[in-house]
Chain A
Amino acid sequence: MTNIEKYNEAFIESFGVTEEQLPGLAYQEIPEWDSVGHMQLIAALEDAFDIMFDTDDIIDFSSYEKGKEFMAKYEVEL
């Protein structure tokens, strides 16, 4: 799996959404991406890429696109 596939898969698995729904997807815009879902997403991404997010990045991780920007910081190229 490529990195972008792994990144997408974390969202798809955590929220039960389809790949088509990912662009523009943002925190609290669907019932599944609430604070509980957010924790599951962060855990899924940390597992998939073997990284550990900083606190500020977890709470700034507000959309599918915004998250992509953070991944670079953890040396994950999408």
Chain B
Amino acid sequence: MAFWNTLERFGERTALITETGEHIAYNALLARADEIAGAAGSRCLAFLMCRNCADAAAGYVGFLRRGIVPVLLAENLDTSMLEGLLESYRPAYFYLPSEKASELSGAMVWRGESYTLLRLPYEQDYKLPEELALLLTTSGSTGSPKLVRQSGRNIEANTRSIAEYLGILSEDRAITTLPMQYTYGLSILQSHLSVGAAVILTDKTLMDKEFWALLKEQKATTFGGVPYIYEMLKKLRFDRMNLPSLRYLTQAGGKLPKELAEEFIQTCKRKNMKFIVMYGQTEATARMAYLPWEHAESHAASIGIAIPGGEFWLADPEGAPILEPETTGELVYRGPNVTLGYAENRFDLCKPDENHGELRTGDMAKRDAKGFYYIVGRKKRFLKLFGSRVNLDEVEGLLNRAGIPCACAGVDDRLDVYITDGSLLGQAERFIKEHTAINPNGFQLHVIEEIPRNDSGKVLYSALGARP
């Protein structure tokens, strides 16, 4: 049985710890979860605007338990992006922070400490297939309606695998550093609940002293971080901090520069902690690979090996398996956590499983003679900004439609937007800040004379990327 249906067995153990230090037991969590989902009634589609708080976590657990399919959304979504998503999917309910509920037309059916469940007036003209359990965004900051369809089996398989390879103990307490709608953040919540461990819920960041106070007071044993979180930890001189409750750290959401990985491996070793590098995608529920701690020092730039229950192979340009070591090909993953496929609108929700357990990751990788995998590049036109995926073609499309011709390129943590009309500079900057959820520190605008194109008119992104 799926873990969310057997949480009763953890009874009075602590499931959630809030920012104010309140401990919520599994029994209390389930009572709240089932009350929220009960107010929605039967199987349907619901939007869930995420915060790292008890009401949001309880709503999510309740929805899973009642077969209500949530679409997890970021809190900072722009109104027009949100309206677009509502129109594309027409959910029956919207579960969101109470102060935001007043902006929407809907009937309140449940209200908790900080969240409200609204029944929306849409007519349900679409079907939800039996296996569908959860929908996550692919490039949330641009408001793209493209969602990943995850099944209950996907979530269950990946959660169990993660809990197994990380060796999560029921005494563990993970403190949140990532938003819940982000698959890595969600996987930390799920894998801890699945073994009866606790999650300390906060939206404070590493740059807030409240975060560190909470970590110390509530004796967090672990947290996860995308690359920029490790940049912050370095800046904060994590090596000098005294945090004896921490047992291990995880890293995912993009490739950590090798020197930084090596530094954290050494720091953690000195502190008698583990540092586990992982690799995954929303399309594989969350995780596909991890680097076992005993191999961390000798393989610092590697994503490691496939997680329990999964396997990797490398495809050459014709799609045939590459057998020789140290040869680059597209990384392909097989496993029960490979999701069902995408949806672009509500009518796509009833699509069958389009992946059949196999995912072409779009990442280029090689394997060494010992079987460890290394990411060397990316096939697809996207980058990660502070852990979140941003589709470059979508950003281009948004700006072009707003009357700002441009080409987008860049590297992780820096989106470069090239425009040719210098007079549109201010307009482009305002548009990105006001109409996308792209972090204002994550993009740079450049004015160039001409967007380089080949003879057939296709943008030569490699020529853009070469610019400083």
Contacts and interface: CB of A to CB of B under 8 A. Distances in A.
Q: Which of A34, A35, A55, A58 has the most CB of B within 10 A?
A: A35
Contacts of A42: 235
Contacts of A37: 440-441
Interface string B363-386: 000000000000000000000001
Interface string B133-163: 0000000000000000000000000000000
Contact of B209 (A34, A40, A54, A60): A60
A33 B53 CA distance: 23
B207 A58 contact: yes
Contacts of A58: 207, 235-236
A78 B206 CA distance: 28
B68 to A, nearest CB: 32
Contacts of B208: 35, 59
Interface residues of A, number: 20
Interface in A10-36: 14, 16, 27, 31-32, 34-36
B241 interface: yes
Interface in A61-77: none
Given A58-B235, A59-B236, A35 B442 contact: no
Contacts of A27: 207
A54 B209 CA distance: 13
Contacts of A38: 207
A36 B412 CA distance: 14
B433 interface: yes
Interface in B203-220: 205-209, 212
B440 A59 contact: no
Contacts of A31: 433, 440
Contacts of A36: 228, 386, 439, 441-442
B74 to A, nearest CB: 14
B232 interface: yes
B9 interface: no
A36 B414 CA distance: 12
B241 A39 contact: no
Nearest to B433: A31
A9 B22 CA distance: 43
A14 B241 CA distance: 26
A28 B400 CA distance: 30
B235 A32 contact: no
A60 to B, nearest CB: 6
B240 interface: yes
7 contacts: A16-B440, A35-B232, A36-B442, A39-B207, A39-B228, A42-B235, A55-B236
Given A16-B440, A58-B207, A59-B212, 17 more contacts: A31-B433, A31-B440, A34-B205, A35-B205, A35-B207, A35-B232, A36-B228, A36-B386, A37-B440, A37-B441, A39-B207, A39-B231, A39-B235, A55-B236, A55-B237, A56-B209, A59-B209
